[in-house]
Amino acid sequence: MRDESLILEMMLDHTPSTFVLGPLAGLELSRFVPNPPPVYILDQLVAEMHPAWLEQIQNNCTNCEQRTLLVQGGEQFKSLNQLEKIYQWLSEQALTRDGTIVAIGGGTVLDLVGLAASTWRRGVNFVSIPTTLLAMVDASIGGKTALNTAGIKNPVGSFYPARGILADVGFLGTLTCSDWRNGMAELVKTAAIGDAVLFAELHAARKKLNKTLGHSEADQPVPGILGALPWGDWVGRAATVKVNLVNRDFKEKGPRKALNLGHTLGHVLEAHSHQSDKPLSHGQAVAIGMAVVFRIAAERNLCPVPQALEMIQLLEACGLPVTWPAPPVDLLETLLAGDKIVSARSGLSWVLPERIGKIKVDAKVQPAELLRWLEAPEEG
């Protein structure tokens, strides 16, 4: 675990946003909260599992219970209905334009509460405390907020950076295996995009990863995992990659698109699978998406074959899937056409690896290629 704090500064559309990683990061909260005192919206599971940490976060809070809204995290939380409930509660709190909302939870809580913060009174101060691996390395950084509607994932949202992001890997000890795997998919993605040394370290640690994540029950915690691997170091390095990307390209016009590696196909597989009896989690869908684009890139001689194999080995070591039954081509085309990454002018934009640490954005991929590489190909 990391002993010292890591502080990463962003300037996103003239708005400062600071990521702090370290022990007792919650103590930094007051730095990001001007008067009046904040309101807190937090994941109920986190409240139950980490009461002492919350006490620390809320140590200067008077009438704390009244100023705290407990919500149930998970994809179903990112709905218009839940947003309306948050607005109702903010109204009861009489939260004015100079107020602050502190969100504590995984990516789903941060996405929706961030959207509420960006729209309530046309934007109030927002601070986020990510409590899942995925939220620490990805969702909390870069100011994207979202909800799901019209059967589509994340079509509504805003760019609204949190003033402060306070991450402490101590929260991760209570995650289920499935949530660890979801986070690993994004951690591996981030390393593959921008830190080849981190990717090599993750690949070298694949036996340990496999021991902890490879065979555990998805809905059970993973005893011992927190101390077994250098999570603080890995989270800090992945966060650094994302911070650098969003600092260069806040509104996703160019380099930030690299973060969609594996997501173009992943999103549609995830949405489609939820109509079946085998729903995919976000991380599982992204893992399949990454495996497919690495295979396509290797076949096109864009990316070295051994690197594509390393990616697949690493994902499999984490207990993530790398293949999926291919849907009929016309269904795949319809699903892809409904995805948010479609641009009216240029059609679907794909992110392909050129090698670990170097990514090509705005590539073109044909549905037939996807189908060819979705189902168990021979891998040496």
Amino acid occupying residue 65? E
Q: Which is nearer to ligand NAD, 184 or 291 (CB)?
A: 184
Q: Is 45 in the site for ligand NAD (CB under 6 A)?
A: yes
| Token reading at 274 | 């939820």
Among 95, 138, 318, 353, binds ligand NAD (CB under 6 A): 138
Residue 272: active-site member: no
Q: Is 231 in the site for ligand NAD (CB under 6 A)?
A: no
Least distance to ligand NAD from the beta carbon of 135, Å?
Answer: 4
Torsion sign, CA atoms 147, 127, 163, 199: negative
Q: Where are the beta strands (DSSP E) in the chain?
A: 6-12, 15-21, 39-43, 68-71, 100-105, 125-130, 144-149, 152-159, 164-167, 342-343, 347-348, 350-355, 358-363
Q: Is 139 in the site for ligand NAD (CB under 6 A)?
A: yes
Among 1, 49, 70, 326, binds ligand NAD (CB under 6 A): 49
Q: Is 118 in the site for ligand NAD (CB under 6 A)?
A: no
Least distance to ligand NAD from the beta carbon of 188, Å?
Answer: 13
Among 10, 39, 109, 292, binds ligand NAD (CB under 6 A): 109
Residue 122: active-site member: yes
Q: Is 105 in the site for ligand NAD (CB under 6 A)?
A: yes
Q: Is 185 in the site for ligand NAD (CB under 6 A)?
A: no
Q: Is 326 in the site for ligand NAD (CB under 6 A)?
A: no
The β-bridge partners of 167 are: 21
Q: What is the rounded CA–CA span in Å between residue 380 and residue 369?
A: 20
Residue 282: active-site member: yes
Q: Is 302 in the site for ligand NAD (CB under 6 A)?
A: no
Identify whether the C-beta of residue 181 lies closer than 8 Å to the C-beta of residue 219: no
Contacts of 277 (CB under 8 A, 6+ apart): none
Among 179, 249, 316, 339, binds ligand NAD (CB under 6 A): 179
Least distance to ligand NAD from the beta carbon of 137, Å?
Answer: 9
Identify whether the C-beta of residue 361 lies closer than 8 Å to the C-beta of residue 257: yes
- Say how many CA atoms lie within 13 Å of 292 toward its Cβ: 31
Binding-residue pattern over the window 58 to 87 for ligand NAD, x denoting contact by CB under 6 A: ---------------xxx--x---------
Report the phi/psi class of residue 224: left, alpha or beta, with left for phi > 0 and alpha for psi in -120 to 50.
left
Q: Which of 86, 189, 88 is nearest to 145 (CA)?
A: 86
Interface region with ligand NAD, contact rule CB under 6 A, candidates 133-141, 230-238, 323-331, 351-359: 133-141
The residue annotated as part of the active site, out of 125, 148, 182, 260, is: 260
Q: Is 237 in the site for ligand NAD (CB under 6 A)?
A: no
Q: What is the rounded CA–CA span in Å between residue 134 and residue 144?
A: 14
The residue annotated as part of the active site, out of 50, 181, 256, 257, is: 256
Identify whether the C-beta of residue 142 lies closer than 8 Å to the C-beta of residue 80: no
The residue annotated as part of the active site, out of 2, 78, 144, 257, is: 144
The residue annotated as part of the active site, out of 2, 206, 242, 257, is: 242
Residue 263: active-site member: yes
Q: Is 175 in the site for ligand NAD (CB under 6 A)?
A: yes
Q: Is 223 in the site for ligand NAD (CB under 6 A)?
A: no
Q: What is the rounded CA–CA span in Å between residue 184 and residue 268?
A: 20
| Token reading at 55 | 């006490």
Alpha helices of 274-366 — where are they, by DSSP H? 282-299, 305-317, 329-337
Q: Is 108 in the site for ligand NAD (CB under 6 A)?
A: yes
Residue 14: active-site member: no
Among 15, 56, 119, 174, binds ligand NAD (CB under 6 A): 174
Torsion sign, CA atoms 301, 306, 311, 316: positive
Total interface residues for ligand NAD by CB under 6 A: 29
Supply φ then ψ for residue 327, to 5 degrees.
Answer: -75, 165
| Residues with active-site annotation | 122, 144, 186, 242, 252, 256, 260, 263, 267, 282
Binding site for ligand NAD (CB under 6 A): 43, 45-46, 49, 73-75, 78, 105-109, 111, 131-132, 134-135, 138-139, 142, 144, 154, 171, 174-175, 179, 182, 282
